[in-house]
């Protein structure tokens, strides 16, 4: 029925999937790229850089924020976004561990 059934999996599996899912759209990668380049960035600037409407970008920002990867600080009538260092490193590590756990085997498949 389209539900995620998240209860059935381990916390780590859910965490990794959560980070990965947040990264699972080109627009959100593009947003992160802008933030990574400029260190910090006003929402409007991000909208200008992307081929998407303001409301759509805002939605993507919300998803990145909900995954914890970015944070937004209110600055007057603008909102300044930036990478959340702590969570970013956590995502890097959990995903890194997953990828590193592969040890090239002599026999590729059966």
Partner DNA sequence: TTTTATAATCGTAAAATTACGATTAATGTA
Partner DNA sequence: TACATTAATCGTAATTTTACGATTATAAAA
- Residue 69 near residue 83 (C-beta atoms within 8 A): yes
Closest distance of CB 89 from DNA, Å: 23
Positive or negative: CA dihedral 35, 36, 39, 45? negative
Residue number with CB closer to DNA (3 or 104): 3
Q: Residue 95: what are its φ and ψ, rounded to 5°?
A: -70, -40
Please report how close the Cβ of residue 108 comes to a copy of itself at its closest, in angstroms. 6
User: Closest approach of Cβ 26 to DNA, in Å?
Assistant: 8
Binding to DNA by residue 62, rule CB under 7 A?
A: yes
Indicate whether 52 belongs to the interface with DNA (CB under 7 A). Answer: yes
> In this chain, which of 23, 72, 88, 95 binds DNA, going by CB under 7 A?
72
């Amino acid at each position: 029925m389209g539900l995620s059934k998240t209860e059935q999996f381990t916390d780590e599996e859910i965490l990794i999937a959560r980070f990965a899912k947040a990264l699972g759209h080109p627009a959100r990668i593009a947003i992160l790229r802008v933030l990574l380049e400029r260190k910090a960035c006003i929402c409007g600037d991000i909208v200008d850089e992307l081929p998407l409407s303001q409301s759509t970008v805002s939605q993507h920002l919300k998803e990145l924020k909900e995954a914890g990867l970015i944070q937004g600080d209110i600055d007057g009538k603008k909102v300044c976004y930036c990478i959340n260092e702590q969570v970013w490193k956590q995502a890097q590590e959990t995903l890194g561990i997953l990828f590193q756990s592969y040890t090239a085997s002599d026999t590729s498949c059966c």
